[in-house]
Amino acid sequence: MSDTAVERVSRLLEHIAKSGLNAYVTPGGEAALSQAREADRGKRPGPLSGVPVAVKDNISTRGMATTCGSRILEGYIPPYDAHVVQELHRAGAVILGKTNMDEFAMGSSTESSAWGPTRNPWDHNRVPGGSSGGSGAAVAAGEAPLALGSDTGGSVRCPASFCGISGLKPTYGLVSRYGLIAYANSLEQIGPMGRSVGDVARLLDVIATLDPRDSTQVRDTPRGGYLASLDGTDLRGLRIGLPREFLEGADPDVVRATHDSLDTLQQMGATWEEVTVAHAQYALPAYYVIAMSEASSNLSRFDGLRYGLHLPPGAKDWSTHFSDVRGQGFGPEVKRRILLGTYALSAGYYGKYYLKALQVRHLIQMEFTRLLRDHDLLITPTMPFPAFKLGERIQDPLSLYLADVDTVAVNLAGVPALSIPCGFSRGLPLGLQLIGRPFDERRLLQVGHAYQQATKHHLARPPGSAEAGGFST
Alpha-carbon distance of 190 to 208, in angstroms, equals: 10
Is the preceding omega at residue 2 within 30 degrees of 0, hence cis? Answer: no
Phi, psi of 121 (to 5 degrees): -60, -25
For residue 80, give the amino acid letter. Y
Q: Using alpha carbons, list the distances in angstroms from residue 275 to 243, 296, 374, 408, 412.
A: 5, 36, 10, 18, 19
User: Could you say which DSSP state residue 209 is in?
Assistant: -
CA proximity to 427, closest of 35, 100, 164, 98? 164
| Residue of 260, 291, 271 whose CA lies nearest to 407 | 291
Answer whether 110's CB lies under 8 Å from 131's CB. Answer: yes
Three-state DSSP class for residue 168: strand
Known catalytic residue: 425?
A: no
Marked catalytic residue, from 131, 176, 296, 419: 131
Q: Which of 111, 195, 112, 102 is nearest to 153 (CA)?
A: 102
What φ, ψ does residue 30 adopt, rounded to 5°? -65, -35
Q: Any idea what DSSP says for residue 61?
A: B
131 is catalytic: yes
Q: Of 84, 201, 280, 279, nearest to 444 (Cα)?
A: 201
Give the bridge partners for 99, in sequence order: 24, 56
Catalytic choice (108, 150, 155, 296): 155
C-alpha to C-alpha distance for 462 and 473, rounded to whole angstroms: 19
Q: Active-site residue numbers?
A: 56, 131, 155
